[in-house]
Chain A
Amino acid sequence: MSLLFSPEPEQLEKLFPFFFVLDRKLQILRKGESLKKISGDEIYFKEHFSFVRPSLGIKYEFESIQRFQEQVFLLRILGIEKKIELKGQFIYDKQNDLLYFWGSPYIKSEKDFENTGLQIKDFAIFDWNISYLQVNNFLRIEQEDKEKLKYQFERQKNFYELLFDHIPMDVAILNSDLKYIFINRSAIKNAEIRNWVRGKTYLDYARYRNLDLDIASEREQNFRKIIDNGEEFFYEDTYFKGTEQEKTIYRNMLPYTSHSGEKYILAYGIDITMVRKASEEIFNKNRELNKLNLELDGLVYSVTHDIRSPLHAVLGLIDVIEREEQLNAQTEEYVSLIRSSISRLDETINLIFDYSKNARTELQSSEIDLEELIQKSYDHNIKELKNNVRLILNQNNPFKFYSDPQRVLIILNSLISNALMFSRTNVDAFVEISFRVDKDYCEIEIADNGEGIQAKHYDLIFEMFYRGSKKSIGSGLGLFICKEAVEKLKGSLTFTSYPNVGSNFIVKLPNDLCSHEKEIHSY
């Protein structure tokens, strides 16, 4: 402060806009522009100010103040509503026998500053109050930012914890010491235990819950591997075993490394009780179904065999009658009708057996001589139906055909017997069968000049037991089983037909060549 003596008072007055000057009578001779803004017009010091500090031994006298020159004064401004104090120092001007007060308002906070009603420009540029305010302000803003960040962080943390708490699966996070740092509500319902678990290991928890400690320590060794080797680990927990409430939790533990390189284990558990139950149910149902299928197989076998056996006995006896007895024309016709009836019944039983065979037996593919198979089927059917439809056979098969012979025969039998059954008598009836084999497919076309199919029957001819013609002497099973067999072979079946012109069926079956021979055979 002593340095300040050398400048002129006018200059100092600029540095201290709250200064005032006293004469020996303690009259205020002059005061700073800023002080004028916060004080009244009283002339005497005593009416204008009261001492806050020093408070002991100080008197409202020139000499008394002069004696306290080395002290910092706090002066309360009187005559105003606001509580404003000036902080500063009195300096004696020997030359003019005057006391100068150099100081400014005592401001401890921004609130104090606002209280004065002053502006920053009312203070000297260097004024420590302003620096104080600025530093204070800076600190406050920093503090506020920190608070804000902390608040946001807390909010986010709460949000995720709440989220994890409401996820309907168990979530836990373990640190590299294998201690729980988070565990959600689903994993441990009881809040007290949940809090207790934080900072504990799985083994601690297992001890607390009286779980099998051998299993627990084995699991903890695996947890260690997750941290050390980044291996994933999973296991299943079953609770309330053997009771109604039995439940199974699938637990998966995943390694996680944070940005800063810290290792954690993320653990989640899903209740798979329902899945488990459902799969058990499916397993049991499947087993039952398989058993039923086997029984049904046995049943179909027995029924078809047991029915066919006596039928064949009847057919055999009819043979004997026809061979050995002298029959009159009428009896001969009756016997012939009995034979065709029995034959039809036998065919129906055969079809049922075919259906069962197609539905239940595995595909067994082997090389198929289509020409031979078609001839066999034609011969069989022409004998059964006793008509004279000609067979025309065209072929173009540079490749061998591999498929399931039993099912191909079912398909051929159905289509050929229809072509023969629905032939017209007033034309030169024929069935023309063409087939073409390439390395992927075999296409068989069975065309006839028979009575054809009316459009209204198109959608129905593949239905079980459907018979669309008076001429149909079958069971209505043939095309149904044919379609089933085509589907089993993953083939396709299409047809075009016009009444009194004929029908044309096209069967396209995959050639199972690849599974038999890698190289392509050409004839």
Chain B
Amino acid sequence: MICVHMKKKFILIDDDPIFIFLNKKVLETTTCMESVQDFTSGLDALENIKNNLDNIEKVVILLDIRMPIMDGFAFIDELKKTVGSDINKFIIYLLSSSIYQADIDKAKQYPEVRDFLNKPLNTDKMESVCKELMSL
């Protein structure tokens, strides 16, 4: 059995509502999810995080890379500016339909990025993520 306090809060950021819907469905079936919030733009997510920063203890962000206006990397840049040293409260997974070398190279400059995940998520993939999160 997994202890309740090991469960994590999740934030989903994806401009495509179908993926929000699908990924939420998968998250609901996983064992390590305590709650999930979703945003269709990085700006909305940032706004929300800024307002609730004090209440955030540890949060897992599942972040789509390719989004209009503010892509995944730009979101991380802004997040760091906004939260400062609180950045270690955030565990970030990048989501993409296909994983390109150029994105992998770029991600190496971001120590906050934990890993890449292929879209759409499925239960198997999420369970291995859960295992990883619990070992943290």
Q: CB distance B122 to A319 under 8 Å? A: yes
B26 to chain A, nearest CB (A): 8
With known contacts A319-B122, A320-B25, A313–B98 Cβ distance under 8 A: no
Q: Which of A309, A317, A350, A406 contacts B119 (CB 8 A)?
A: A309
Q: Using CB atoms, name the residue of chain B closest to A307.
A: B97
**A-binding segment of B15-23, B30-38, B47-55:** B15-23
CA distance in complex: A317, B100 (Å) = 24
Q: Which chain B residues in 1-41 approach chain A with CB under 8 Å?
A: 16, 18-19, 22, 25
Q: CB distance B97 to A309 under 8 Å? A: yes
Could you give, for residues 115-127 of chain B, a 1 whenever the CB lies within 8 Å of some chain A CB and a 0 otherwise? 0000110100000
Name which of A304, A309, A353 has the most chain B CB atoms within 10 A of its CB.
A309
Q: CB distance A316 to B19 under 8 Å? A: yes
Q: Is A312 an interface residue (CB 8 A)?
A: yes
Q: CB distance A313 to B16 under 8 Å? A: yes
With known contacts A305-B66, A320-B22, A320-B25, A313–B100 Cβ distance under 8 A: no
A383 to chain B, nearest CB (A): 13
Q: CB distance B22 to A316 under 8 Å? A: yes
Q: Is A382 an interface residue (CB 8 A)?
A: no
Q: CB distance A317 to B18 under 8 Å? A: yes
Q: Which residues of B contact A317 (CB under 8 A)?
A: 18, 22
CA distance in complex: A312, B119 (Å) = 7
Q: Is A344 an interface residue (CB 8 A)?
A: no
Q: Which of A301, A304, A309, A361 contacts B16 (CB 8 A)?
A: A309
Q: Which residues of A contact B100 (CB under 8 A)?
A: 301, 305
Q: Which residues of A contact B119 (CB under 8 A)?
A: 309, 312, 316
Name which of A304, A308, A310, A316 has the most chain B CB atoms within 10 A of its CB.
A316
Q: Which residues of B contact A506 (CB under 8 A)?
A: none
Could you give, for residues 98-131 of chain B, a 1 whenever the CB lies within 8 Å of some chain A CB and a 0 otherwise? 1011100000000000000001101000000000
Q: Using CB atoms, name the residue of chain A closest to B64.
A: A309
Q: Is A315 an interface residue (CB 8 A)?
A: yes
Q: Using CB atoms, name the residue of chain B closest to A315.
A: B120
Q: CB distance B97 to A316 under 8 Å? A: no
Q: Using CB atoms, name the residue of chain B closest to A308.
A: B97
Name which of B101, B120, B122 has the most chain A CB atoms within 10 A of its CB.
B120
B97 to chain A, nearest CB (A): 4
A409 to chain B, nearest CB (A): 13
Q: CB distance B98 to A308 under 8 Å? A: yes
Q: Which residues of B contact A312 (CB under 8 A)?
A: 97, 119-120
Q: Which residues of A contact B18 (CB under 8 A)?
A: 310, 313, 316-317
Q: Which residues of A contact B25 (CB under 8 A)?
A: 320
Q: Which chain B residues in 58-107 approach chain A with CB under 8 Å?
A: 66, 96-98, 100-102
Q: CB distance B120 to A316 under 8 Å? A: yes
CA distance in complex: A187, B32 (Å) = 88
A320 to chain B, nearest CB (A): 6
Q: Which of B19, B22, B98, B101 contacts A305 (CB 8 A)?
A: B98
CA distance in complex: A509, B18 (Å) = 44
A143 to chain B, nearest CB (A): 90
CA distance in complex: A126, B71 (Å) = 124
Q: Which chain A residues in 375-415 approach chain B with CB under 8 Å?
A: 406
A360 to chain B, nearest CB (A): 11
CA distance in complex: A60, B96 (Å) = 145
CA distance in complex: A406, B98 (Å) = 14
Q: Which residues of A contact B101 (CB under 8 A)?
A: 361, 406
B131 to chain A, nearest CB (A): 21
CA distance in complex: A311, B66 (Å) = 15
Q: CB distance A313 to B22 under 8 Å? A: yes
Q: Using CB atoms, name the residue of chain A closest to B18.
A: A313
CA distance in complex: A135, B96 (Å) = 112
Q: CB distance B19 to A313 under 8 Å? A: yes
CA distance in complex: A338, B123 (Å) = 21
CA distance in complex: A313, B100 (Å) = 19
Name which of B98, B102, B122 has the most chain A CB atoms within 10 A of its CB.
B98
CA distance in complex: A310, B17 (Å) = 11
Q: Which residues of B contact A316 (CB under 8 A)?
A: 18-19, 22, 119-120
Could you give, for residues 352-367 of chain A, a 1 whenever the CB lies within 8 Å of some chain B CB and a 0 otherwise? 0100000001000000
CA distance in complex: A315, B102 (Å) = 25
CA distance in complex: A29, B102 (Å) = 135
Q: CB distance B98 to A304 under 8 Å? A: yes
Q: Which residues of A contact B122 (CB under 8 A)?
A: 319
Q: Using CB atoms, name the residue of chain A closest to B25.
A: A320
B105 to chain A, nearest CB (A): 11
Q: Which of A313, A350, A353, A361 contacts B120 (CB 8 A)?
A: A313
CA distance in complex: A350, B98 (Å) = 9
B65 to chain A, nearest CB (A): 9
Report which A residues bind B (CB closer than 8 A). 301, 304-305, 308-313, 315-317, 319-320, 350, 353, 361, 406
Report which B residues bind A (CB closer than 8 A). 16, 18-19, 22, 25, 66, 96-98, 100-102, 119-120, 122
* 19 A-B contacts (beta carbon < 8 Å): A301-B102, A305-B96, A305-B97, A308-B98, A309-B66, A310-B16, A310-B18, A312-B97, A313-B16, A313-B18, A313-B22, A316-B18, A316-B19, A316-B22, A319-B22, A319-B122, A320-B22, A350-B98, A353-B98
| Known interface pairs A316-B19, A320-B22; 7 further A-B residue pairs with C-beta atoms within 8 A, sorted by A's residue number | A309-B119, A312-B120, A313-B22, A313-B120, A316-B119, A319-B120, A319-B122
Please provide the 8 A-B residue pairs with the shortest distance between their CB atoms, ordered closest to farther: A316-B120, A316-B22, A313-B18, A308-B97, A309-B97, A312-B97, A312-B119, A308-B98
